[in-house]
Amino acid sequence: MKTAALLLMGAALLAAQPIDRTKPPQTPPLAAYKLPPVIERTLPNGLTVILVEDKRFPLVSLRMDFQAGKKFDPAGLEGLSEMTAALLKEGTRKRSSRQIAEELASIGGALNGFAASDGLGISGNALSEHTSKLLELLADLVRNATFPQEEVNLRKQNRKQELAAARAQAETIADEKFFSVVYGKHPYSRMLPTDASIDKITRDALVGFRDQYLAPNNAFLVLLGDLPAQADLQKLLNANFGDWAKKEIPKPAAVPIPPAKRQLVLVDRPGSVQADIRVGRVAVNRSNPDYFPLLLGSGVLGTGSSSRLFLTVREEKGWAYDVHTEIQPHREGGIFEVETQVRNEVVEPAVDELLKQLRQMGAAPVSASELSTIKNFLSGVFVISLETQGGLLGQLSGVRSEGLPTEYLEKYVTRIQAVDPAQIEAVARKYLVPDQDTIVVVGDAAQIGKALEKTGKFIVEKSPQ
């Protein structure tokens, strides 16, 4: 994909370079890399199909997404979307669960359902000689799933065990509480189901959810790899999805995302030898003009081992093994957060330091070297993610599921390179404001409760188990 001219230039620079070991060698700039061509078409029934050719390996990868993620779960039935996704491959009108598993293994393939906040989907891959079979199975799963009663029972039982195992980890408790506090009444606040909500899920509810949301006009399909010739592929798509009927999709009542405000919660987990800390708030989605400056600002503060938080909290103070920031871009409004785990004795100075570093982001522009570090980092990570089919699939599906055009990826690196320090400072003053941040700490209240009083008045809650 890279142009010959650029390659030759790189070679010349390398050859001409004398070896001076005292300094890092000079290297040419990052070559411009064009994404492989993305072909997009829509079938008459409204199904959007996105195709990318990649002949390096005899493999194909695909993902079909519906706007039917966890936020569409009716109140009290949390877990319905994820269970619908999980059970798609456990029986259809044409195949038993066992047949599906065996046929998939026979094509060197997999198909797995998942549910995120916004989207419900199914992703998979196979040896490319079996592309036609993979599409046939995908169509059978999304169109004909029957949710057999014994599979529903088993899934409910095992999901409760999985949740118990997940909630045995302080990290899960912290994430769950953080989401529930910052998103308030918005359905994004319900990250995980409860035993009670799982108990209420019935086969009828699953069939109903599927009938309501799994329709071609509510979906897109990304298919990439060593694809059949265009005409053959079109035939396959028509045969498997052409007669799939369009449907009226109900629009759930819009719930506004609550404004960011300071809320302090301590989840008591007796016996914890360390404290899990989350500091953050609701921020923006990827179509917001503030997104790129915030992504870079968040990166300077807490992405990677050159970041401010890593250098202070981990390297200078030695308080934490890991400390990092995250931007999670949900379709209706993402979150910004700082995550770390510190030992009990230093919980208060650690929280104080996080708040100090957040404040600092809006107090002065980031340095030129911090800026170039984060720009090169984000651009490089992006290019590297395109090395595998799974990486490209994730990038394409990710932007589409948030309602963005695929050309978003074409412009990604350019947009990152265009951000300046003033923009970062401006978004920092808007979003990295400690007074508006929610703080969730999970730890042994008897050990850390007193120290945290210096930060403010924490509501103390019991650990879920």
Strands of 248-399 (E only): list them: 263-268, 274-282, 320-328, 335-343
Query: What are the start-end ranges of the H helices in 107-148?
Result: 131-144
- For 15, phi then psi, to 5°, come to -65, -35
Q: Toward other proteins, which CB reaches closer, 24 or 44?
A: 24
Site string for other proteins, 67-106 (x = CB under 8 A): ----------------------x-------xx-xxx-xxx
Give whichever of 386 and 451 is closer to other proteins, judged by the CB atom. Answer: 386
Tell whether residue 389 is a contact of other proteins (CB under 8 A).
yes
- Binds other proteins by CB under 8 A, chosen from 16, 24, 44, 231: 24
Backbone angles phi, psi at 461, to 5 degrees: -120, 160
Please work out the total of residues on this chain that contact other proteins, with binding judged by CB under 8 A.
87
CB-nearer residue toward other proteins: 190 or 314 = 314
Binding test (CB under 8 A) with other proteins, winner from 48, 132, 360, 379: 379
Region binding other proteins by CB under 8 A among candidate stretches 67-75, 187-195, 209-217, 318-326: 318-326
Interface segment toward other proteins; rule CB under 8 A; list 192-200, 230-238, 265-273, 281-289: 265-273
Give the other-Cβ count within 10 Å of 413's Cβ: 18
Minimum distance of other proteins from residue 9's CB (angstroms): 10
Q: Work out the end-to-end distance of the chain between its first and last CA atoms, rounded to an integer number of angstroms.
A: 53
Q: Out of 132, 144, 312, 376, which residue is the one contacting other proteins (CB under 8 A)? A: 376
Residues 387, 337: Cα–Cα separation, whole Å? 29
DSSP code for 46 = S
- By CB atoms closer than 10 A (0-12, 13-18, 19+), residue 105 is exposed
Backbone angles phi and psi of 23, in degrees to 5: -125, 150
Interaction of residue 3 with other proteins, rule CB under 8 A: no
CB 277 within 8 A of CB 347: yes
Cα Rg of the chain (Å, integer): 24
What is d(CA 363, CA 239) in angstroms, rounded to the nearest whole number?
Answer: 60
Interface residue with other proteins, options 305, 363, 368, 457 (CB under 8 A): 305
Contact 35, 386 (CB under 8 A): yes
8 A C-beta contact, residue 297 and residue 428: yes
**In the complex, what is the shortest distance from the CB of residue 17 to other proteins, in angstroms, rounded to a whole number?**
7
Site for other proteins, residues 119 to 138, rule: CB under 8 A: 125-127
CA distances (Å), origin 403, targets 104, 330, 459: 30, 10, 37
List the interface residues with other proteins, window 321-360 (CB under 8 A). 321-322, 341, 343
Q: Which residue among 39, 46, 148, 167 contacts other proteins (CB under 8 A)?
A: 167
Residue span binding other proteins (CB under 8 A) among the ranges 5-13, 114-122, 211-219, 243-251: 5-13
Give the interface segment with other proteins, choosing from 70-78, 190-198, 242-250, 368-376 (CB under 8 A): 368-376
| Near other proteins in 393-452, by CB under 8 A | none
Binding other proteins by CB under 8 A: which of 81, 131, 298, 373? 373
